[in-house]
């Protein structure tokens, strides 16, 4: 067995070891077909079976109600920053955004290219350390939608519950926390997520869209960037990213075996609880970045007394087999990304390392 690191990468991120081993077993010849899954037509029965099953698993695990399409797209969540306004932002309406951090800001900047936008609420004045309260959100009457970033991967904040937007469609970027807990899809008009944090490898983006939002965009939109194109063809308009969808299929089967969304949520709570307890119990040696009520169960961000000490932490942890703990270059500090596939034992090992590091340097 290869020597596996304690992988706390932010994305692409850890995959379940069982999934990697299954993919390895099936890599050269897929289920008696005489070839690899990557060597066969996306129009053939074998690939189509994988494709349909992946959609069914997502529907089951996320409890997707009737009236929603599940799409497999390319271009990452970053392409959704454009597709959402291109398809949904009509003249005379405004795209409303909650500015919670780095990813929300990118979504807003992109939307500005396509129409009128407004910041319905923001925590910028608090360095994005918190998620605004529902009461802070000012939604204009002519809002086309309200866009929220469910989990700010870089700052380490997460919505505990989503705002009620009435008849205005709520749109969620769930790239870094999709399937970390049960989801009430019916609260949303559209959710999207790049797969490479919680669902699989990079290369496929999941979009779940309410059918009434699929209609005709107001302006000219390239065929590939219209939701309608992919909704009408079960995401088989052109060649889909077959390998990424196949890997996502294996990850979803694995999630199901863990007890589904509720099962992984229990473990996620335990993992995050261990890390936040280590931070809060360190007498100020470790300082959590996010405000307590806005803390993410997926990305745990923290700082030390000096950048010097943070560098030392990153270096020593790496030497001991931990990977990916350095914070994003835009905010500094340290970050442990503990997506679904990060085992509880690895979090325990990190907590031990943190305690040891604090004793030696406190």
Ligand X SMILES: *Cc1c(COP(=O)(O)O)cnc(C)c1O
Q: Which residues bind ligand X (CB under 6 A)?
A: 11, 76-78, 103, 149, 153, 173, 175-176, 194, 197
Bridge partner list, 146: 96, 170
Is 238 annotated to bind a ligand? Reply is yes
Instruction: Specify the residue, 77 or 350, whose C-beta has the smaller distance to ligand X.
Output: 77
Q: Which residue is nearest to ligand X (CB)?
A: 76
Residue 24, preceding bond cis, omega within 30 degrees?
A: no
Which residues lie below 8 Å from residue 132, measured CB to CB, with a gap of 6+?
Answer: 98, 100, 121, 122, 123
Contact 80, 90 (CB under 8 A): no
Task: State the minimum distance, in angstroms, from the CB of residue 44 to ligand X.
Answer: 28
Instruction: Specify the residue, 55 or 173, whose C-beta has the smaller distance to ligand X.
Output: 173
Using CA atoms, how far apart are residues 25 and 21, in angstroms rounded to an integer?
6
Q: Are strands 68-73 and 6-7 parallel, antiparallel or unpaired?
A: unpaired
Task: State the minimum distance, in angstroms, from the CB of residue 103 to ligand X.
Answer: 4
Is 159 annotated to bind a ligand? Reply is no
Is 254 annotated to bind a ligand? Reply is no
Using CA atoms, how far apart are residues 37 and 18, in angstroms rounded to an integer?
18
Is 43 annotated to bind a ligand? Reply is yes
Instruction: Specify the residue, 188 or 285, whose C-beta has the smaller distance to ligand X.
Output: 188
- 256 exposure class (CB count in 10 Å sphere: 0-12, 13-18, 19+): middle
Sequence-distant contacts of 241-244: CB under 8 A, at least 24 apart: 241/72, 241/74, 241/203, 241/204, 242/37, 242/38, 242/42, 242/47, 242/50, 242/51, 243/37, 243/38, 243/201, 243/203, 244/195, 244/200, 244/201, 244/202, 244/203, 244/204
Residues for the chain: how many in total? 362
Is 93 annotated to bind a ligand? Reply is no
Is 226 annotated to bind a ligand? Reply is no
Using CA atoms, how far apart are residues 16 and 199, in angstroms rounded to an integer?
10
Helices (H), 225-259: 227-232, 242-257
DSSP state of 202: T
Is 79 annotated to bind a ligand? Reply is no
Task: State the minimum distance, in angstroms, from the CB of residue 92 to ligand X.
Answer: 28
Task: State the minimum distance, in angstroms, from the CB of residue 172 to ligand X.
Answer: 10
Task: State the minimum distance, in angstroms, from the CB of residue 104 to ligand X.
Answer: 8
Instruction: Specify the residue, 26 or 78, whose C-beta has the smaller distance to ligand X.
Output: 78
The residues assigned a catalytic role are 103, 173, 197
Task: State the minimum distance, in angstroms, from the CB of residue 193 to ligand X.
Answer: 8
Instruction: Specify the residue, 85 or 286, whose C-beta has the smaller distance to ligand X.
Output: 85
Output helix, strand, coil percentages for the chain, rounded to the nearest 5: 40, 15, 45
Instruction: Specify the residue, 55 or 155, whose C-beta has the smaller distance to ligand X.
Output: 155
Would you say the C-alpha torsion 55, 60, 61, 63 has a positive or negative sign?
positive
Is 173 annotated to bind a ligand? Reply is yes
Contact 158, 131 (CB under 8 A): yes
Using CA atoms, how far apart are residues 251 and 201, in angstroms rounded to an integer?
10
Annotated binding site for pyridoxal 5'-phosphate: 77-78, 103, 153, 173, 196, 238-239
Annotated binding site for L-glutamate: 43
Annotated binding site: 43, 77-78, 103, 153, 173, 196, 238-239
């Amino acid at each position: 067995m290869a020597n596996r690191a304690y992988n706390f990468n932010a994305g692409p991120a850890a995959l379940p070891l069982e999934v990697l081993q299954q993919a390895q077993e099936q890599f050269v010849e897929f289920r008696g077909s005489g070839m690899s899954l990557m060597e066969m037509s996306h129009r053939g029965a074998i690939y189509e079976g994988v494709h349909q099953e992946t959609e069914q698993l997502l529907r089951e695990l996320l409890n997707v109600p009737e009236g929603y399409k599940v799409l497999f797209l390319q271009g990452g969540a970053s392409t959704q920053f454009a597709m959402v306004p291109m398809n949904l932002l009509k003249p005379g309406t405004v795209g409303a955004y909650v500015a919670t951090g780095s990813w929300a800001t990118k979504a807003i900047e992109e939307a500005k290219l396509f129409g009128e936008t407004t910041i319905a609420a923001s925590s910028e004045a608090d360095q994005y350390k918190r998620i605004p309260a529902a009461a802070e959100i000012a939604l204009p009457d002519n809002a086309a939608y309200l866009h929220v970033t469910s989990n700010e991967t870089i700052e380490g904040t997460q919505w505990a519950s989503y705002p009620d937007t009435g008849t205005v469609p709520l749109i969620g970027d769930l790239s870094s926390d999709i399937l970390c807990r049960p989801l009430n899809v019916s609260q949303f008009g559209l959710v999207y997520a790049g797969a490479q944090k919680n669902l699989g490898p990079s290369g496929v983006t999941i979009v779940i869209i309410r059918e009434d939002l699929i209609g005709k965009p107001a302006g000219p939109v390239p065929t590939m960037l219209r939701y309608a194109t992919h909704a009408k063809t079960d995401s088989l308009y052109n060649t889909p990213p077959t390998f990424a969808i196949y890997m996502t299929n294996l990850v979803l089967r694995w999630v199901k075996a863990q007890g589904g969304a509720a099962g992984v949520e229990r473990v996620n709570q335990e993992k995050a609880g261990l890390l936040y307890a280590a931070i809060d119990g360190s007498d100020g040696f470790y300082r959590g970045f996010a405000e307590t009520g806005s803390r993410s169960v997926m990305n745990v961000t923290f700082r030390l007394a000096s950048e010097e000490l943070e560098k030392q932490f990153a270096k020593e942890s790496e030497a001991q087999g931990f990977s990916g703990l350095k914070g994003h270059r835009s905010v500094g500090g340290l970050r442990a990304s503990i997506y679904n596939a990060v085992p509880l034992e690895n979090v325990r090992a990190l907590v031990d390392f943190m305690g040891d590091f604090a004793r030696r340097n406190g």
